[in-house]
Amino acid sequence: MRVLFAPDSFGGTLTAVEATQAMAEGWRRRAPHDDLVLAPMSDGGPGFVDTLHASLGGRLVAAPVSDQYGGETSAAVLVVDDTAYVEAAQACGLDLSPRREPEVATTYGVGQLIIVAIEEGVSRLVVGLGGSGTNDAGAGCLAALGGTAEPPDALTGGPRALATLSAVDVGGAQERMADVAVVIATDVDNPLLGLRGATNVYGTQKGLAEERKQLVDAHLAKLAELTDRRVADRKGAGAAGGLGFALMLLGGQRVEGVRMVSEALGLAQLARQADLVVTGEGAFDFSSRSGKVPYGVAQIAGEAIRPCIALAGQVLIGSREMRTLGVESAYSVVDLVGERAAFADPRGTLSDLAERVASTWSR
């Protein structure tokens, strides 16, 4: 029997690569003769580059860059043939710092990372968005790539600095990116502004107080009015605190992160060659339908007419909702060992769950 493992990361406990390995280790203990295919997945958020490197190979280019608060952090660009892959979360990810001050957080380091990618001479750049701790509409990224403003530091101090913005010119950044096709990989389809925009929908999880949202949204609107207000309304412009907006100003085209990674990995072909597809994530709930990995993988399994099951830290939906997502059955680590044990040993307990599930599905 051939089993394809294609999970996402498990929150802050396991990367997608680690989760895939843990599942495979447990499955082998119960079904050592099964043929296991490992294809860790991502939707463009944290782990995007590591996931692609694990499956595609390629060359990692180390790139020390600024994090969202101006400190130095280690990042890497993945180069595969004439394509470079950049993970925005490596430069401005929420998990890079315990600080939660989105009003002064900047995406400048993402621009630095993009420069490293361009200098590799690639013709195509894929930027994975997700898991950011910023909400500056990509202003810092624009500045790093050559955008200018009045006053000069208005683009580099987070949304609070945008309050002082009186003029902006992104021509230098656009010229720098002119010879590169930019792909924005994200599961987020929110616009930049308004009730469904970056600030109102994602500001709270980044530490933005409710009473500050209207003002911060107005700061982002000022940048949009001085560049191209129409771009702010596009799907995905609000991704990564508006970083999607900045990349769209530079010619970027949004694609669903899960679909992009699936195509890069040839997941559809792998699913057709498998007898069973196993996906998973930290918390499997109905929000998984919103561009998340399990739903994307289940769709691909369905197209291949292959059953798909999910292993998760927690399963928070019933069987009826599960099947609307295309998942036959879902299994929870917490239900197996309890929450305390699950967090104490995430890899070992996920492996134990996979071993138990193999007794049901392996033949």
Cβ–Cβ < 8 Å for 333, 301: no
117 phi and psi angles, rounded to 5 deg: -65, -45
Specify the residue for token string 């072909």: 269
* Residue 75, SS3 per DSSP: strand
Name the one residue in this structure whose structure tokens are 């860059």. Answer: 65
How high does pLDDT run on average in the chain? 94
Give, in order, the Cα–Cα distances in Å from 340 to each of 261, 280, 315, 334, 336. 33, 20, 16, 8, 11
**pTM confidence score:** 0.89
Report whether 334 contacts 302 (CB < 8 A). no
Structure tokens at 25: 């280790």
Q: What is the CA radius of gyration of the chain?
A: 21
Q: In this predicted model, what pLDDT tens digit does every residue of 172-222 receive, in sequence order? A: 999 999 999 999 999 888 999 999 999 999 999 999 999 999 999 999 999
Does 64 score more than 60 pLDDT?
yes
What is the pLDDT averaged over residues 308-328? 90
CATH 3.30.300.30 fits 48-258, yes or no: no
Token pair belonging to 54: 């694990």
Q: What is the pLDDT of residue 284?
A: 85
Q: In sequence order, what are the beta bridge partners of 283?
A: 314
**Residue type at position 91:** A
Helix (H, G, I), strand (E, B) or coil at 203: coil
Domain ranges within the chain, ordered by starting residue: 2-37+266-361, 48-258
Q: How does residue 51 score in pLDDT terms, banded at 50, 70 and 90?
A: very high
Superfamily of domain 2-37+266-361: Glycerate kinase; domain 1 (3.40.50.10350)
pLDDT of res. 316: 87
Task: Please tell me what DSSP assigns to residue 94.
Answer: G
Side-chain-side CA neighbours of residue 190 (13 Å): 23
Residue 125 bridge partners (DSSP): 84, 182
Q: Determine the average pLDDT of the residues in 239-262.
A: 95
Tell me how far apart the alpha carbons of residues 85 and 113 are, in angstroms, rounded to a whole number: 10
Query: What's the CA gap between 84 and 353, in Å, rounded?
Result: 36
- Please determine, for residue 347, whether its predicted confidence score (pLDDT) is greater than 90: yes
Residue corresponding to tokens 């499997």:
284
Pairwise CA distance, residues 173 & 207, whole Å:
29
Residue 349 reports pLDDT greater than 60: yes
Band the pLDDT of 89: cuts 50, 70, 90.
Answer: very high
The reported pLDDT for the residue numbered 294 is 92
- What H or E segment, with its residue span, contains residue 248? helix 239-249
| CA dihedral for 296, 297, 298, 300, sign (positive or negative) | positive
**Could you tell me which of 1, 55, 13, 3 has the C-alpha nearest to residue 350?**
13
Structure confidence at residue 287 (pLDDT): 61
DSSP string, 23-52: HHHHHHHH-TTSEEEE----SSSTTHHHHH
d(CA 351, CA 343): 13
**What are the beta bridge partners of residue 65?**
73
List, for residues 13-49, the tens digit of each pLDDT value: 899 999 999 999 999 999 999 999 999 999 898 889 9
User: What is the percent of the chain with per-residue pLDDT over 90, rounded to a whole number?
Assistant: 88
Confidence (pLDDT) at 289: 57
- The whole-angstrom separation of Cα 283 and Cα 260 is 22
* Tokens coding 122: 């690639």
Residues with Cβ within 8 Å of 57's Cβ and at least 6 positions away in sequence, in order, are 80
